[in-house]
Structure 1
Amino acid sequence: MEDQIHARMAKTHEDRKETFLALCEASSEDSMLRAVNRYGDTMFNEIQLARFVAELRALPPEKQNSTVRKLVAAAEFAIASHGYLFFEGMEHRNATSPPS
């Protein structure tokens, strides 16, 4: 979570099975979840976060794991703070190129 001047206020992490990212990648093209990119950074403002929270709450109960619940709480806090929710993507490396 970031405040209005983009200072980090709190941080959370994906679970080891990457269930949230899998959920995002399986979402429809017009979904806010689909906007979360595994490799690139993604930031939602409070207007986008309202839709993001609605989508997370509309998930079937079996998909609302601890990561989803943490993200709902983080998004609600960001909305209340007039802040942002920032998703930091992983650096994408081509499997055939050696690490630098």
Structure 2
Amino acid sequence: MGMAIYAEGHAHNRLGSTFDGVDAPFLRLCRSAPRESLRWGVMQYGDTYFNRAQLERLVEELEALPPDRPVIVEEVLRLARLAIRNAGYLHVIGD
């Protein structure tokens, strides 16, 4: 199990990536999120896309997590901000 996470430009060109390893700390954060959270919508298997408007809210959600959050959160924040700057998407691919 794991997840690949990509920042993509508006034409879905890849701008950056990270991987949520076999212990899947990002997936665990998503699965434990409240139903109204955007994180809750990340699919364990298959593709999840966040557009620019959703990314702004996702960034707020991730920044609100406690400071002892997993390192992967900082990587996802970096990719989300990169996608926002490029009017693109965050693409999460579940395994």
TM-score by length of 1: 0.84
Q: Which has the higher contact order (CA 8 A, sep 6+)?
A: 2
TM-align CA RMSD: 0.9
| 3-state SS of 1:12 partner | strand
Structure 2 gaps of 5+ residues are 1-6
Cα offset for 1:56? 0.3
TM-score by length of 2: 0.88
Large movers: runs of 4+ above 4 Å = none
- Identify which of 18, 21, 32 aligns with 1:26: 32
Structure 1 gaps of 5+ residues are 91-100
| 3-state SS of 2:77 partner | helix
Work out the CA distance in 1 between the residues paired with 2:66 and 2:21.
19
State, as a whole percentage, how many aligned pairs show the same letter: 38
- When you count strand as a share of all residues, which structure comes out higher? 2
* Equivalent residue, structure 2, for 1:43: 49
Counterpart mapping for 1:58-97 below 5 A: 58-63=64-69, 65-90=70-95
